[in-house]
């Protein structure tokens, strides 16, 4: 409850970020999020240091001038770690003999559930993150730069690092959402 109510999107991040081993440890736990058929229709590309600088150049060239992408390019530039989230839907013929077809929307929902679990785990370990999406996720140039395959889709970047210590992680007060609940009675 504490992690859910105190996690915030963190736009300004500094070192440290989790190293590759710690990130893999957290991802193993996040991968236990509900996923119909256990397909894990996602992959992550970790980008740091020189790789981040190269991605920043590609993003800057792709978003040169006014328009989509400029508003969050600065956040991506400041994050010590970018976890590139790639959606890799599994076609029915690859799910295994006798396995039920898993609609793509369910696979996307599973990917989102895993990502949300990962952001909560990062927060619980003292790291901050923000999931950045936008028009540039559909760029063919960026897809090629990152080596995306066939039907894969870029869902954005988790910008990860340590939030400034001066910021308070006060718990949110949950809103009354009972108007969103109904009870079916035939």
Band of pLDDT at residue 167, cut at 50, 70 and 90: low
CB 60 within 8 A of CB 72: no
| pLDDT tens figures, 102-159 | 899 999 999 999 999 999 999 999 999 999 988 889 999 999 999 999 999 999 999 9
Kindly report, residue by residue over 7-51, the tens digit of the pLDDT: 888 888 999 999 999 999 999 999 999 887 789 999 999 999 999
Match 């956040």 to its residue by tokens: 75
Q: Can you tell me whether residue 105 is helix, strand or coil? A: helix
The CATH fold of domain 10-93+102-165:
NADH Oxidase (3.40.109)
Take residue 55 and report the two structure tokens written for it.
Answer: 């991605």
DSSP state of 134: S
Q: What is the pLDDT of residue 174?
A: 84
pLDDT at residue number 59: 86
Write down the pTM of the prediction: 0.88
d(C-alpha 129, C-alpha 32), whole Å: 20
160 DSSP β-pair partners: 81, 129
Per-residue pLDDT, averaged over 67-78, amounts to 65
Whether 26 contacts 121, CB under 8 Å:
yes
In this structure, are residues 45 and 84 in contact, taking their beta carbons and an 8 Å threshold? yes
* 65-79, 108-122, 154-168: least confidently modelled range: 65-79
Confidence tier at 71 by pLDDT (50, 70, 90): low
Q: What is the CA radius of gyration of the chain?
A: 18
Three-state SS for 132? Answer: strand
pLDDT of residue 20: 96
């Amino acid at each position: 409850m504490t992690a859910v109510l105190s996690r915030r999107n963190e736009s300004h991040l500094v070192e440290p970020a989790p190293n590759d081993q710690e990130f893999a440890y957290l991802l193993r736990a996040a991968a236990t999020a509900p996923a119909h058929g256990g397909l894990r229709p996602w992959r992550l590309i970790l980008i740091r240091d020189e790789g981040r600088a190269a991605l920043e150049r590609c993003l800057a060239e792709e978003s040169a001038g006014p328009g989509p992408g400029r508003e969050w390019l600065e956040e991506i530039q400041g994050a010590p770690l970018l976890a590139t989230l790639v959606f890799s839907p599994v076609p029915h013929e690859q799910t295994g003999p006798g396995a039920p077809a898993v609609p793509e929307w369910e696979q996307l929902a599973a990917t989102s559930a895993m990502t949300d679990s990962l952001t909560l785990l990062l927060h619980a370990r003292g790291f901050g993150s923000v999931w950045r999406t936008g028009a540039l996720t559909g760029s063919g140039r960026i897809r090629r730069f990152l080596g995306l395959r066939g039907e894969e889709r870029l869902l954005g970047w988790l910008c990860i690092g340590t939030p400034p210590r001066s910021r308070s992680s006060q718990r949110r007060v949950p809103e009354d959402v009972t108007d969103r609940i109904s009870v079916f009675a035939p």
